[in-house]
C-alpha cells in the first residue's frame, strides 16, 4: 500500500519538482510533523519552511520565528495565506481538502515503522523537492552498519525493556517498530519481541520477564530514571538492582528521520558500554 501511495504522490508532484529546480529562491514549504521537518532541513530546504508544527521548533536549520501550527487544530486558512508550494504532513486522514481546493499541493506521509521505511521517506521527500538524498542516506546507513557489525559479535545478549510511557499506564513496544530493530541491531533482545506494535505493560509482567536493561524515552518527568528505580516491587528486577536504567533522547527515538541513528548510538552505549563508547555509540 505504501508503494502505491508514494507512486500517486510522485505523479501528482512531478510538476512541482520541476518548479523547484527553476525557482529555488521562491520555494515555500509548510511542514506538519517534526520528522519531515528534520528531513527537509537536512536536504538544505530548512530556510524555505514558512510554517511548521509546534514540535518542529527545535529542528536545526529552520528560520527563527517561523510560524507555528497547532497539529490538533490546524488553521488551514492561515496555511493558505502563506501561499506554500507544497505542504508535507503526517497522514491525519483528509483535513486538507480546503488546501487542495485552493490549488495547494499536499503530500501525506504515512507513519514509518521500520528503518527501511525511514530510508524511503528520505528518498521520497528529496524527490518531491528535486534534491539529492544520497549523502544523508549513506551517512545513516554507514552508522547503522558500523553498529550492526559490533552488535553481531556480541555473544552474551542482554534483555531490554523499552518504556515509552511511565507508570501507572506503562507502554512499550514489540516487533514492527524501528526501535525494536535498533535494539536487535546493537545485539540485544527486546523482552517484547514476541508482541507486535505498541503494547501496555504491567508490573507483574515486568517482574516476570526480568530485563537486564531498562531504557526510557519519558521526558515529562523531572527524573524518569529515578522514578523507575523507585517503583514499588521493582527492586527485584535485574536492571533496577544493578542500576542499568537509562534515558534515551525522546525526539531521536520517536521521529522517523535520519536522526534515529542518534537514538541507536544511545541504545548501544547504554546496553553495552563495554563495546560502545558513550560519546559515539561505538569505538
User: What local confidence, expressed as pLDDT, does residue 212 receive?
Assistant: 98
Closest C-alpha among 98, 112, 95 to residue 36: 112
User: Do 2-135 and 143-271 fold alike per CATH?
Assistant: yes
CA dihedral (44, 54, 77, 29) in degrees, to 10, reads 0
- pLDDT recorded at residue 111: 87
- Residue 282 backbone class (left: φ over 0; alpha: ψ -120 to 50; beta: rest): left
Residues in the chain predicted with pLDDT less than 50, given as ranges, are 1-25
Whole-structure pTM value: 0.88
State residue 96's pLDDT score: 84
* Strands, E assignment, 98-257: 105-109, 159-163, 171-173, 189-190, 198-200, 213-216, 245-247
Q: How many CB atoms lie within 10 A of CB 67?
A: 15
Q: Which CATH architecture has domain 143-271?
A: 3-Layer(aba) Sandwich (3.40)
- Residue 268: Cβ-neighbour burial (10 angstroms; 0-12, 13-18, 19+): buried
pLDDT score, position 110 = 87
CATH topology assigned to domain 2-135: Rossmann fold (3.40.50)
Residue 32: what pLDDT? 96
What pLDDT is recorded for position 248? 98
Q: CA torsion sign, 28 to 32 to 38 to 43? A: negative
At 209-258, the pLDDT tens digits run: 999 999 999 999 999 999 999 999 999 999 999 999 999 999 999 999 99
**Residue-level pLDDT at 69:** 95
* Domain boundaries defined on the chain: 2-135, 143-271
Amino acid at each position: 500500500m505504501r508503494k502505491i501511495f508514494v507512486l500517486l504522490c510522485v505523479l501528482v508532484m512531478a510538476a512541482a519538482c520541476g518548479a523547484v529546480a527553476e525557482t529555488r529562491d521562491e520555494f515555500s514549504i509548510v511542514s506538519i510533523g517534526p520528522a519531515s521537518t528534520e528531513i527537509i532541513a537536512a536536504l538544505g530546504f530548512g530556510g524555505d519552511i514558512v510554517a511548521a508544527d509546534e514540535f518542529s521548533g527545535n529542528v536545526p536549520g529552520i528560520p527563527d520565528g517561523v510560524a507555528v501550527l497547532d497539529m490538533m487544530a490546524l488553521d488551514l486558512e492561515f496555511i493558505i495565506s502563506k501561499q506554500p508550494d507544497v505542504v508535507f504532513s503526517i497522514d491525519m486522514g483528509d483535513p486538507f481538502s480546503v488546501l487542495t481546493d485552493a490549488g495547494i499541493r499536499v503530500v501525506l506521509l504515512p507513519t514509518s515503522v521500520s528503518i527501511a521505511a525511514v530510508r524511503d521517506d528520505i528518498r521520497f521527500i528529496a524527490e518531491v523537492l528535486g534534491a539529492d538524498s544520497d549523502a544523508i542516506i549513506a551517512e545513516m546507513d554507514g552508522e547503522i552498519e558500523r553498529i550492526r557489525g559490533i552488535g553481531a559479535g556480541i555473544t552474551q545478549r542482554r534483555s531490554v525493556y523499552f518504556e515509552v510511557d511511565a507508570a501507572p499506564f506503562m507502554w512499550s513496544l514489540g516487533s514492527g517498530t524501528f526501535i525494536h530493530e535498533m535494539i536487535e541491531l546493537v545485539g540485544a533482545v527486546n523482552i517484547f519481541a514476541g508482541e507486535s506494535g505498541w503494547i501496555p505493560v504491567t508490573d507483574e509482567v515486568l517482574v516476570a520477564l526480568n530485563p537486564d536493561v531498562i531504557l526510557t524515552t519519558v521526558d515529562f518527568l523531572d527524573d524518569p530514571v529515578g522514578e523507575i528505580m523507585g517503583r514499588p516491587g521493582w527492586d527485584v528486577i535485574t536492571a533496577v538492582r544493578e542500576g542499568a536504567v537509562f534515558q534515551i533522547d525522546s525526539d531521536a527515538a520517536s521521529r522517523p528521520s535520519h536522526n534515529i541513528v542518534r537514538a541507536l548510538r544511545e541504545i548501544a552505549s547504554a546496553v553495552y558500554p563495554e563495546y560502545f563508547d558513550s560519546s559515539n555509540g561505538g569505538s
